[in-house]
Structure 1
Amino acid sequence: MRRTVKRWAVYALLGYGLFALAIYYYLYGLASGGLPEIYKGTSADPSVFLSGAEQALAQKYSTIKNFLFFISVPFEWLVYLFILVFGLSRKFEEWSKGTVRFSFGQTAIYLFYLSFLTFLLAFPLQYISYHYSRVYKISAQTFPQWMKNELIDFWVSYVIMTVLVFVLYALMKRFKKKWWLAAWTLFVPFTIFMMYVQPVVIDPLYNDFYPLKDKKLEAKILTLADQANIPADHVYEVNKSQETNSLNAYVTGIGENARIVLWDTTLNKLDDDEVLFVMAHEMAHYVKKHIYIGIGSYLVLAFFGFWLAAKWMEKLVRKHGEELQIQELSQLRSLPLLLLVLSMMMFASSPFSNAISRFEEKQADAYAIEMTQNKEAAISAFQKLAREGLSEVKPPWLVKIFRYSHPAMAERIYTIETYPLPDKQGKKMEENRGVSAQKSRN
């Protein structure tokens, strides 16, 4: 058995190294193509709104972040595999059972060992990502501020995971074959509950949320909300400038806890018309029921995910249980295997979920253009978002399908510029595009 385990470890390390080299070659070699001709000379052309130095910085920063993403995901799989094959998971389970007798306490202790070890092993890559965010002036956090958020992440995840894992393994013991169905049945109300409490319980752990200070701007936003038949009394502002220089706004929560949130960096760097377009975009997610569609899609995928994970794990334990030191699935020591399987399935399904999200974002952009009738503000807002966040205007194909839940900036800006509006502004945009193209040719 030990020989098999050593062979697995060698193959896993070799495969990870080859994958890292392949991704490096793809990002730094093959994926360095130019801007498609269709965007050149338009508002989507980065040379129109970014200097040469800014374009170079955006390219370097994006490539680094993309590389870190692609090597971090399989690194997580490698960690779970090594914890299994070298017996660490079995040891954690034995230590937890030797410490307390009641099962919830055993789950909490086991999960602390596992969470702390994975946190330590993932920390170098997390720190490298933070370091480059500081170097390229995206992050405004000091190391203590960043570390504070990392520790909050650890403890929030630990508390939630302890409850989930305890319930899950209780179901595994109670329902030997159909545990996955029972788990999914409880997962549905849990997901809805978390969506409901996140804006008012979890998010405030990281930042301060308060009603928008600029009451004139808030009145304009609430007028838009009224036009869209959205029952809103406040727009929320969050103090993200102490963490980042990038811009963002989003919709979170459901029911009476649903919130439209603006980062203060967005308010500081966009003018009122640009902010109104951003807000109209976020309102579109409410009007188009994207939050509920997202929850529904997530739960459907989770159903098949639980089923597939159960079948996959049963097969692995039946065939390799001795090497993995797992006799049955209901043992706590099988958790790294479950996390490994779920992580791999989530990564494999991300192109599908990202494609749905990009489609919804296109719908929200179109809704916002029609509501505000201000294409110039929309274009300038996205140009500023790209500049401040050092966004990759036209990402490589693999990066787009695995990382981008929003359309790429070049695509979004060009779509807005060419979006038909039956008014004077549509003609004005066409004239401006012609001027830009002429400048580009000259």
Structure 2
Amino acid sequence: MLPAIAHAANPGFDVDQATRAYLDVLQGPARAKSDAYFEGGYWLTLWSALVAIASYLALLPTGLSARFRDWSERLVKRRWLQTALYAVPFTLVSTLIALPWTIYTGYFREKQYGLMNQSFIAWFGEQAIGLAIGILINMALLTALFAVIRRFRRTWWIWGAGTMIVFALFGALIGPVFIAPLFNKYTELPNGPVRDRIVAMARSNNIPAEHVYLFDASKQTKRISANVSGLGPTIRISLNDNLLNRTAPDEIAAVMGHEMGHYVLNHVTKMIAMFAVILLILFGIVYRAGPAMIRRHGARWQVRGIADPAATPVLALMAAVAALVLTPVLNTIIRVNESEADAFGLNVAREPDGFAKIAMRLSEYRKIEPGPIEEALFFDHPSGATRVRMSMQWKKDHVPGAAMVKPDLKLDQ
């Protein structure tokens, strides 16, 4: 009822016209560049999956995976330690095989489109840190997963999916405190109007706001970002210095309202629950297909069975194929949550023009106006056009005397 009353109070506010006024800020070469970057990502999704599949396949017919297993068995006798040791060369070699592609997509392409602020040496150093973390994670994950496969011969697919979820929860718990600071410096957001407003918005929605963190993402990229991360005692509000330095207070409030929406709407837990169902289905498929593949090719690959750590590339290959096939599904799940957070943020921050401006700024690396099918398949966030329209509709429905504005917005392209 309230939106209808507000709508009647603003008959002269044309949502389509107001939306178009924002979208037309991005024109000519700037729009072409934005579209080219994002549309190129469609192919990157496919090629990245193919590179991953190729890297895992390279470990099987060459016998490398079996050699990694044999090496671990010569060093230690305990099965769980053998699996942990196997994870080290597996992670190193599969990463090295994909390294040229990673360098292109992660560094040179970002540099080409003006999004990268790091030198190659600095970027590569962070990749090395990520590799070290990946080795430790894979050591723990593969040890747990293969222990489950050995212990529960008929139901390991159920327990395996549960193991993955436990690791995801643990990662969400420790990530903000132990992992994120390895890449960026986190400091308390200085006192002032920006912090005061963020804290007030958080407290009004029962979000812990004792600490609001600022991190130095500008050393890596020009992208604006913020988040409410962590679980339980590690929950924290963070925004990057690009958001603080490149945007106005109304834009910051709009972004932080959106991020708080994820917390209040319990999106982390809901996402994990939805992914748990997907993982259970995928593990059920692997339970059937994995052993069949090994029965057919195992002798040539020197893989003894699904409980053999040397079968890791088989599991990883299936995961890469599944991730590619499920990309539209995963994008939709995330996009729905993001849209819900958008609506929450508009209600909390009450800054429709600030939210519209942020949507336009994200056009630096997101296509602003895709077709509906394109958005449904490839976007894991609502497009800029969708977000601007939502903002202008909210403005018409909730702002008394809403007036058309000519956006005073300069995009850094």
Shared fold (TM-score greater than 0.5)? yes
Residue in structure 2 matching 1:280, options 212, 237, 257:
257
Partner of 1:392: 367
Report what 1:24 is aligned to: none
Which residue matches 1:3?
Answer: none
| 1:241 match: secondary structure | helix
Q: CA deviation at 1:349?
A: 2.3
Distance in 2 (alpha carbons) for counterparts of 1:166 and 1:286: 32
Deviation track 1:327-370 (CA, whole Å, cap 9, x = no partner) reads 31111111100111122122222322221211111111112222
Q: Give the percent of matched residue pairs that are identical in Structure 1 and Structure 2.
A: 26
| TM-aligned CA distance change 1:73 to 1:397, over 3 Å | farther
The alignment partner of 1:237 has SS state of strand
Q: Give a deviation string over 1:137-181, Cα, whole Å, max 9, x none.
A: 101011111011111111111101111111222222222222222
Aligned-partner residue type, residue 118 of structure 1: S
Of 202, 220, 223, the residue aligned with 1:246 is: 223
Q: For 2:278, which of 275, 296, 301 is the aligned residue?
A: 301
Which secondary structure state, in structure 2, belongs to the residue aligned with residue 327 of structure 1? coil
Which residue is 2:389 aligned to? 414
Question: How many Å apart are 1:298 and its aligned residue?
Answer: 1.9
1:111 maps to what in 2? 87
Partners of 2:21 and 2:365 lie apart in 1 by 14
SS in 2 for 1:427: coil
Q: Which has the higher contact order (CA 8 A, sep 6+)?
A: 2
Alignment partner, residue 180 of structure 2: 203
From 55, 69, 80, the counterpart of 1:93: 69
Query: Is 1:175 paired with 2:145?
Result: no
Per-residue Cα deviation, 1:200-253 (whole angstroms, up to 9, x for no partner): 011111111122124321111111112222232122111101000111112211
| 1:198 to partner: Cα distance | 1.1
The amino acid that maps onto 1:257 is T
Equivalences for 1:6-405 in 2 at 5 Å? Answer: 42-43=18-19, 48-129=24-105, 130-386=107-363, 389-395=364-370, 400-401=375-376, 403-405=378-380
Q: Give the counterpart of 2:402 among 393, 404, 427.
A: 427
After superposition, what is the alpha-carbon deviation per residue over 1:102-128, rounded to whole angstroms, capped at 9, x for unaligned?
A: 334432432222211111111111111
> Would the alpha carbon gap of residues 39 and 63 (structure 1) be closer, same or farther in structure 2, given more than 3 Å must change?
farther
Contact 2:294 2:306 in 1 (8 A): yes
- C-alpha contact 1:96 1:107 (8 A) present in aligned 2: yes
Q: What is the DSSP-based 3-state SS (H/G/I as helix, E as strand, rest coil) of the residue aligned with 2:222? A: coil
Q: By how many angstroms is 1:401 displaced?
A: 4.6
Question: 1:57, CA displacement in angstroms?
Answer: 1.9
1:329 counterpart letter in structure 2: I
Q: Please tell me the residue identity of whatever aligns with 1:124.
A: P
One-letter identity of the residue aligned with 2:381: H
Q: Give the Cα separation in 1 of the matches to 2:166 and 2:37.
A: 40
Cα distance in structure 2, aligned partners of 1:73 and 1:399: 20
Offset of 1:50 from its aligned partner? 2.1
**Given the superposition, is the C-alpha separation of residues 141 and 402 from structure 1 closer, same or farther in structure 2, using an over 3 Å criterion?**
farther
Q: Which moved more, 1:237-246 or 1:221-230?
A: 221-230
SS for the counterpart of 1:419 is helix
Could you list the per-position Cα deviations for residues 387-437 of structure 1 after superposition, in whole angstroms to 9, with x for gaps in the alignment? xx3321134677645542211111211222223644545631xx34xx79x
Per-residue CA shift, 1:83-116, capped at 9, x if unaligned?
Answer: 2123221222222223333334432432222211
Q: Indicate if the aligned counterparts of 1:247 and 1:266 stay in contact, CA closer than 8 A.
A: yes
Instruction: Check conservation: 2:59, 2:313, Cα contact below 8 A.
Output: yes
**Is the contact between residue 374 and residue 425 of structure 1 (CA under 8 Å) also seen in structure 2?**
no
The change in CA–CA distance for 1:208 and 1:86 in structure 2 (over 3 A counts) is same
Maintained 8 Å contact 2:15/2:392 = no
**Aligned letter for 1:344?**
V
Change (3 A) 1:402 1:148: farther
Q: Cα gap change, 1:194/1:360 in structure 2, threshold over 3 Å: closer, same or farther?
A: same
Letter aligned with residue 30 of structure 2:
E
Q: CA deviation at 1:45?
A: 6.7
Quote the RMSD (CA, aligned, Å). Answer: 2.4
Distance between the aligned counterparts of 1:289 and 1:297, measured in 2? 12
What amino acid maps onto 1:365 in structure 2? Answer: D
How many equivalent residue pairs?
Answer: 393
**Gap change, CA 1:398 and 1:123, over 3 Å in 2:** farther
Query: Partners in 2 of 1:227 and 1:269 — Cα distance?
Result: 26
Q: Distance in 1 between matches of 2:319 and 2:43?
A: 22
Letter in 1 for 2:226: A
Relative to structure 1, the CA distance from residue 373 to residue 426 in structure 2 (aligned partners, 3 Å threshold; closer, same or farther) is farther
Task: Decide whether aligned partners of structure 1 residues 159 and 426 sit closer, same or farther in structure 2, where only a CA change above 3 A counts.
Answer: farther
What is the letter of the counterpart of residue 385 of structure 2? A
Contact 2:91 2:138 in 1 (8 A): no
Q: Which ranges in structure 1 are unaligned for 5 or more consecutive residues?
A: 1-37, 437-442
- The answer to whether the 8 A contact 2:23-2:368 is kept is no
**Matched-pair contact (CA < 8 Å) for 1:83–1:89:** yes
CA distance in 2, matches of 1:398, 1:220: 38
Contact 1:44 1:411 in 2 (8 A): no
Partner of 1:230, secondary structure, is: coil
Q: 1:293 to 1:398 in 2, by over 3 A?
A: same
Counterpart contact for 2:395–2:402, Cα < 8 Å: no
- Normalising by the residue count of structure 2, what TM-score does the alignment of the two structures yield? 0.88
- Name whichever of 230-239 and 272-281 sits farther off: 230-239
Q: State the TM-score, normalized to the length of structure 1.
A: 0.82
Stretch of structure 1 that moved more, 315-324 or 253-262: 315-324
